[in-house]
Chain A
């Protein structure tokens, strides 16, 4: 097993373990398909939308495995229309939020910004 494979395996089984910090969210593709995945969601305060100058929206940083079944594959991600279904605050009803940026990625993980 290569280091590449180990990183990928750890992303799924360790980092995105729902028994620890990960939670279930729904990935909605632009084409209408969706699937439930595990992710670590960081909910931060509302921040100014850089492109909107005076518009504030909540910011979510979402870490998911770079994988087409357990997470989101970097080559399937579409920053023009893909969305995530999550609770804006823990305990609140789920709502869909656009994925607006791919902040970082490697073979193991994607770090996404949702608004």
Chain B
């Protein structure tokens, strides 16, 4: 069964980030796991954990094309959440840890440099949105690094790349 193009992009993002797990040579942040949550939340918050979810998907008329069927361009936001839960005894500034984490994740996603934005030939381009830092009343800290990926498919078949 062919996958929807947006799912192929999601899998590509997941695969790229999963390569960070256990690779402390290429990336200083030792990512512990990358999760696409199930309906019943198959994860517990952990330090240096990445959670990928999908946010809003918006049509992009300027990149859509007329035809039978028309080709529709869609900008899909992926929320890449970076969880930071260092030990209470850790004396590093939380922002320092998060800055390093976000930097490593961004560098990982932007590989290979010349074609990262196509996500294995499935997208027109990708851009990072405004990073939001979240803090809590003693719980986990971290940030959301939104990645907006624009792709184009047939209006009547989201598995057909256009």
Contact = CB atoms under 8 A, between A and B. Distances in A.
B59 interface: no
A79 B138 contact: yes
B112 to A, nearest CB: 30
B88 A96 contact: no
B39 to A, nearest CB: 9
Nearest to B41: A57
A52 B81 contact: yes
B136 A51 contact: yes
A113 B51 CA distance: 20
Q: Is the interface of B mostly helix, strand, loop or mixed?
A: loop
A46 B44 contact: no
Nearest to B81: A52
Contacts of A100: 45, 85, 138-140
A54 interface: yes
Given A46-B40, A83-B44, A115-B45, A55 B51 contact: yes
Interface residues of A, number: 27
A83 B135 CA distance: 20
A55 B41 contact: yes
A51 B134 contact: yes
B80 to A, nearest CB: 12
A51 B139 contact: yes
Interface in B28-75: 37, 40-41, 43-47, 51, 53, 55
26 contacts: A46-B41, A50-B136, A50-B137, A51-B134, A51-B140, A51-B141, A52-B81, A54-B79, A56-B41, A57-B41, A58-B40, A78-B88, A79-B85, A79-B139, A80-B85, A81-B46, A95-B44, A97-B44, A98-B46, A98-B140, A100-B85, A100-B138, A101-B136, A101-B137, A114-B44, A115-B45
Interface of B: 37, 40-41, 43-47, 51, 53, 55, 79, 81, 85-90, 134-142, 144
Given A49-B45, A52-B51, A98-B45, 16 more contacts: A30-B87, A50-B139, A51-B135, A52-B81, A55-B41, A55-B51, A57-B44, A78-B87, A79-B88, A81-B87, A100-B85, A100-B140, A101-B137, A101-B138, A115-B44, A115-B45
Interface of A: 30, 46, 49-58, 78-81, 83, 95-98, 100-102, 113-115
